[in-house]
Amino acid sequence: MARMVPGASNLRTCVFLALRELSFARGRFSLMGVVIALIAVLMVLLSGLSAGLVNDGVSGLKALPSSTSFAFDAGTKQDNAFSRSVVDEAQLAAWRDQPEVAEASPMGVSIVNAVTDAGDQVDLTLFGVEPGSFLAPEGSALDDPGGIVVSGTAANLDLGTVVTLDRIDTELEVVGFTDAQATFGHVDIAYLPLATWQLIAAGEAPGGSPTTEQVAAVDVDEFSVIGLKGVPGSALAAGDAEALAAGDAVAETTTMSLEESFNASPGYQAETLTLSMIQWFLYAIGALVVGAFFTVWTIQRSHELAVLRAMGASARYLLRDGLTQAAILLIVFTAVGVGVGVGLGALMPEGMPFALEAPAIAVASALTIVLGVLGAAVAVLRITRIEPISALGGAR
Amino acid sequence: MTTTSTPKTTHDDDAVGTGLQLRDITLDVGDGAAKVRAMDSVNLEVAAGELLAVVGPSGAGKSSLLAVAGALAAPTSGDVRVLGEDLAALRKRGHGALATFRCQHLGFVFQSGNLIPALTAADQLRLAYRLAHRRGARSFDPLPLLDAVGMSHRASHRPGELSGGERQRVGIARALVNDPGLLLVDEPTAALDRKRSHEIVELLAARCHERGIAAVMVTHDHDVLTHCDRVVEMVDGHLSAASR
């Protein structure tokens, strides 16, 4: 007699039934799978958009070592604190005296409009930093008082391009680019020497390119924030609130760790909150849809489940069977959706803030699957209420 | 009735006992005003290798009898012994013990087969085997049993592709997978024509006799009683010997 029976009897028992039912009801399951895959696509796109916006908002800060903190003038409103805060040399000196501070460096922040010599209008975030300090971009010299180092992703700017700041007609020349994207508040960063920044901020900049003499003559001891680098391993380097507060008390500042300071950049909090809210809604919808599907599916096969119970299948066996189906469905179609989402991500138009980051996608996929299985678990729990006795008598 | 009338069988590994014994069974269904006495002082013994038919009008308690004998329902009072095992004692050990006992020692044949729609005939048998055995599922071969019910040529067909009679044959094979000592059969011919009905009950009787299985078959179909060893009638929860 030929063993012509198809089917893999080498699979484990709990998968035995689950797989056969998946393939038997493949129409229904693929319909559900498509919904899961679409949710996963949306999730990947949202995650990419979210990461892209974060990069657009604070990539200039993110590139700094994680032990960095920023000291703002005490009492500065947190939103837009980078460009609103004003601190002076005395506060800087106070921070430099703190034992756990390895380096304290002043930084000036302002957002300006400018026109390139080709006539293109550009927005720039001026980051005035002390050349050679840890806040300055790596590799590029900032010796020229009229030179700027701009984000590697900046459009319309080439080496040697001269930008003229609106209203004050100060001319700055692009002398270098950062390695990676460097943006702040969705605007490309232009790094320039702190002295030049102070000249511009004080309103003393003459038209044309700033000269060394003009810069040397500037008598301004104010800037926006103080960048702090903690001694490695210290509480301050770890962003410990108490360590920061001790320095704040002396220097009359409000200090935030690097992560916290993201919130002090324009629009950051509103954007990330909105996007993460949409993502959580998506997870909830996914879990509910999967739950609803498995509720109907379980009711549909309740007679079959009663027969299995009468035959001696334990409720646990049937629960595992249902959950296995849910897990297989979710894992397979989330993977499909992530694949499609990543593919679509590659097609995103230039200029759209979009960045696919593997850890974020992995976490989002895991959440989709885990919450989906939870939704299914609530649904298949009704299996325990199925009475095997209902297998007897007229049915079907 | 005793179990000494052993038919030609190889199924005598049950040193503890054989067949089914019901002593003074009472079963109340429902609560309060809706309470119905589905079984009233029912006494019954079925020997190994005996096919007993239970007839009677609808709602007389025939299905209740199957449920109690099949460990699906606990009687309100009375003793149930299946293969010498006291079901009340088993039930005290928890539902897991009952479920294990059901899949290892009992076989159910349901109305119109009640097969799992997703499984081929061979897989129906494989699943039944897997439910009762932790190991050795790979080495289990469903084909000899399918052959015994004349269904080996349909081994890879799903219930949707089988006729009513074929489904019932597969259902019988599935009930026999784990060498049960007691077979409980619920209206096996309800969906079949006369010719098929005779074939199915004949098949059931033959398998029970040759394997020494005690069987209780509930039926409405008086045509098929000729194949049964004994017939009892259930009316209003009472059991009495039936006149054929």
Predicted confidence band of residue A12 (pLDDT cuts 50, 70, 90):
low
Q: Is pLDDT of B160 > 50?
A: yes
Q: Is pLDDT of B11 > 60?
A: no
Rounded to the nearest integer, the mean pLDDT of chain B is 86
User: How many CB pairs below 8 Å do chains A and B form together?
Assistant: 111
**pLDDT of res. B154:** 93
Coil vs helix vs strand at A226: strand
Lowest mean pLDDT among A56-65, B181-190, B200-209, B228-237: A56-65
| Cβ-defined contact of B110 to A307 (cutoff 8 Å) | yes
Mean pLDDT across B33-41? 86
Q: What is the reported pTM?
A: 0.79
Long-range residue pairs from A199-208, CB within 8 A, at least 24 positions apart, any chain: A200/A110, A200/A112, A200/A126, A200/A165, A200/A168, A200/A170, A201/A108, A201/A110, A201/A128, A203/A168, A205/A168, A205/A170, A206/A170, A207/A168, A207/A169, A207/A170, A207/A171, A208/A169, A208/A170, A208/A171
B6 CA: distance to closest CA in chain A (Å): 27
Mean pLDDT across A269-292? 91
**pLDDT of res. B6:** 40
Q: What is the pLDDT of residues A105-115, one digit of tens each?
A: 999 999 889 89
Q: Is pLDDT of B164 > 50?
A: yes
Q: Which of B72, B118, B147 sits opposite A389 (nearest CB)?
A: B72
More confident residue, B242 or A392: A392
Nearest-angstrom CA–CA distance, A302 and A381? 12
| Cβ-defined contact of B95 to A314 (cutoff 8 Å) | yes
More confident residue, A183 or A288: A288
B117 CA: distance to closest CA in chain A (Å): 8
Measured between beta carbons, which residues in chain B are less than 8 angstroms from residue A25?
118
Predicted confidence band of residue B2 (pLDDT cuts 50, 70, 90):
very low
Q: What is the pLDDT of residues A236-254, one digit of tens each?
A: 777 788 888 888 888 888 8
| Cβ-defined contact of A3 to B143 (cutoff 8 Å) | yes
Q: Which of A20, A25, A308 sits opposite B123 (nearest CB)?
A: A20
**pLDDT of res. A368:** 93
Could you report the predicted ipTM of this complex, rounded to two decimals? 0.86
- Chain B interface disruption, residue of A15, A302, A309, A311, most B CBs within 10 A: A311
Q: Where are the domains of chain A?
A: 11-58+269-393, 75-251
State what percent of residues in chain A have pLDDT above 90: 29
| Cβ-defined contact of A1 to B102 (cutoff 8 Å) | no
Mean pLDDT across B193-214? 91
| Cβ-defined contact of B120 to A313 (cutoff 8 Å) | no
Predicted confidence band of residue B198 (pLDDT cuts 50, 70, 90):
very high
Measured between beta carbons, which residues in chain B are less than 8 angstroms from residue A393?
63, 111, 186
Q: What is the pLDDT of residues A15-30, one digit of tens each?
A: 889 999 999 999 999 9
